[in-house]
Chain A
């Protein structure tokens, strides 16, 4: 079974731009969660989607948003990028909600 895939793997943007990251979960998995990883803050939960609905959201500003499609694929969007948004964004999928999460390779976002 293929693992979690994330595209693109690397992105370079400038302040004020917006960006969309994509995540394809493991086949059959219905829950997708997003995490931000930075050297200073570590791994922080962004949001979780299950059955196309956001079920839980972390403590991030409204510039961070996401959605999930009927095939469980998910996208996250960051608008009005700031330098501090530079991070590794990790997507994880699980079969059920309270279940083992399997992570993708991440998207490395650099904001200049």
Chain B
């Protein structure tokens, strides 16, 4: 069965500092990988996705993620965090064929300090 681990429940970053959110997955084949962001009381907004090809993917709001097959990781990065980035971030893995079930990590809450 597929699974996702986000080891950090909370992360606090100073505004303007760089950010890296960790995500490790377990899946039998090459997965589809996603990062979503959720603001309080809102649904999930897609930041970026990896299906195949270049292992460094660019997303919205200046985020990027790198797929590392050898480490089963898909970490999310941003070079300079803005106060508006404060939210909860979810990594998800999906099957690359057949069905569209997503398995999510528990999420990482990002706090941005002034």
Given A42-B107, A100-B34, A100-B49, do A105 and B42 touch, yes or no (CB 8 Å)?
A: yes
Contacting A at CB under 8 A, from B58-114, are 90, 92, 94-107
Asked if B107 and A31 sit within 8 Å, CB to CB, the answer is no
The verdict on B45 contacting chain A, using a C-beta distance below 8 Å, is yes
Using CB atoms, name the residue of chain B closest to A42: B106
The verdict on B17 contacting chain A, using a C-beta distance below 8 Å, is no
Given A103-B36, A105-B42, do A98 and B95 touch, yes or no (CB 8 Å)?
A: yes
Given A45-B102, A56-B101, do A106 and B46 touch, yes or no (CB 8 Å)?
A: no
Minimum CB–CB distance for A80 against chain B, Å: 26
Interface size on B, residues (CB 8 A): 26
Minimum CB–CB distance for A76 against chain B, Å: 15
Minimum CB–CB distance for A74 against chain B, Å: 13
Q: CA separation between A108 and B90, bound complex, in Å?
A: 19
Asked if A103 and B100 sit within 8 Å, CB to CB, the answer is no
Q: CA separation between A61 and B21, bound complex, in Å?
A: 34
The verdict on A102 contacting chain B, using a C-beta distance below 8 Å, is yes
| Contact string against B for A residues 48-68, beta-carbon threshold 8 Å, 1 for contact and 0 otherwise | 100000011010000000000
* CB neighbours of A96 from chain B (8 A): 100
* CB neighbours of A72 from chain B (8 A): none
Given A42-B106, A42-B107, A98-B95, do A103 and B101 touch, yes or no (CB 8 Å)?
A: no
